[in-house]
A and B are shown apart, each in its own frame.
Chain A
């Protein structure tokens, strides 16, 4: 089966000489929910910008559902829907006009465009705002408007660049549900996000990019298996003055006074509880710290930075 997206040796050097991409390779399978992660300035938006033809590439190949953007750009674009990081619609136009106009750009006749626009504006809870000028919408509504606009021509590949940036938790969760539904219905989704919790919750495959290079391109499961240590947070009945000595388990007190215990893969938690019991410490609740992907991500980016500075020296 043809991949939804194939990138080979993609390079980008901006006019000021900055090498944003240094030859990246990446494949996204049809039907995938894929995350492209990386710190600010890593090359995520440049990569997606090239795929969407908002950025001119310097070298390499990009194919969308088999269509090479150098030779079959129009066919490639027909399969793409794009939700950019920043609001990029005419603030003075009405919501409905923005969405139907976008459909028109894809050659969809007005009658059909109106039906499609209504479908997605209803799904995204914006139908009652259809006659409102875009500038009057809240930040969350503007994000949803951009999603409706990107979907109006029913693309097979949806690209979202930081779709939930600045969106409150409740709305973010509802957007996750919506995107999961789109993915279940067959739309391939690629997203970049700073919320690694989001990538961990939604995506099946992940690429980590930094300094214009792909550091890792694998499945989420495989990536998480690389995490050897997991941190558990234990709330104790009484406030501890200092962290207890636990043989084989490094531990410390958090700022909030909870006990944080590092447990390596394969170690049982029972030994932790036995030792705590012996020291008269009673645990009332337990949870894992932060999200695992975030820990792994930070570790990889830091390692890459260390290697880069070592190489330079």
Chain B
């Protein structure tokens, strides 16, 4: 396949993904906006006003980066896992398999589709947060880099989940029992410096902690971990999950007999 044709195929996949999640916006764009607004009102305003400062900032300002990141992570993951699994379920994945699109373009297309939704939700949540607090960006490149890479990483995670899933239950297990607990325990609502030493140590093996803190560093300039270590970790995970995804595609895991 020629380069121009590959670009067209890539654009086709991304546009189809964007068309999909915008067509069903009450299921894809609205819920995180409503949920995050409730977080801002309840945790930020009502409870946050009694908590006082955290990490040198008022509680609302402290949780905003974590909540944006939480929305980006769950949306990027959810978009790819549900879209790709639906294609498998309806067998419309065969449209792609019979075409000359290389596997890496298929993967890139889906990941970018997931990122489009994740980053779109991130933008919506950021705009909503402005109604509750002022955001002063401490380090814009760090903000952009962290949110893009994290979104890509979880879109890849969603892709692998979809490849392995054989029924609809399988696509909700990871988000419910892995992603949500790791996100809540990943320093979205608190600084791990509040925890006893043992639990601080345990928290350090949670990869989402690094992403949330790198993003928080970009916005507020404070972090529980070294943000550059966090970026390095995200890159390593992206490389690993990309390799796994491409291998699964090559072998046709769950999509070819």
Contact = CB atoms under 8 A, between A and B. Distances in A.
A74 B102 CA distance: 8
B176 interface: no
Contacts, number: 87
A97 interface: yes
A261 B148 CA distance: 79
A56 B256 contact: yes
Interface in A73-124: 73-75, 77-78, 80, 82, 84, 86-92, 97, 101-102, 104-110
Contacts of A53: 97-98, 256
A87 B89 CA distance: 12
B113 to A, nearest CB: 13
A257 to B, nearest CB: 48
Contact of B100 (A14, A56, A107, A110): A107
Contacts of A101: 12, 16, 95
Interface in B94-130: 94-102
A54 B257 contact: yes
Contacts of B12: 101, 104-105
B109 to A, nearest CB: 10
B91 A88 contact: yes
B256 A89 contact: no
A283 to B, nearest CB: 53
Contact of A106 (B11, B13, B99): B99
B49 interface: no
Main secondary structure of the interface of B (DSSP, over half): helix
A146 to B, nearest CB: 10
Nearest to B23: A92
Contact of A105 (B87, B90, B95, B252): B95
Contacts of B100: 73-75, 77-78, 105-107
What's the interface size class on A, roughly?
20 to 34
B90 A91 contact: yes
B82 to A, nearest CB: 13
Interface string B1-12: 110111011011
Contacts of A39: none
B257 A14 contact: yes
A56 B255 CA distance: 10
B92 interface: yes
A62 B57 CA distance: 66
Interface of B: 1-2, 4-6, 8-9, 11-13, 15-16, 19, 23, 86-87, 90-92, 94-102, 252, 256-257
6 contacts: A56-B257, A82-B94, A88-B92, A104-B11, A107-B1, A110-B8
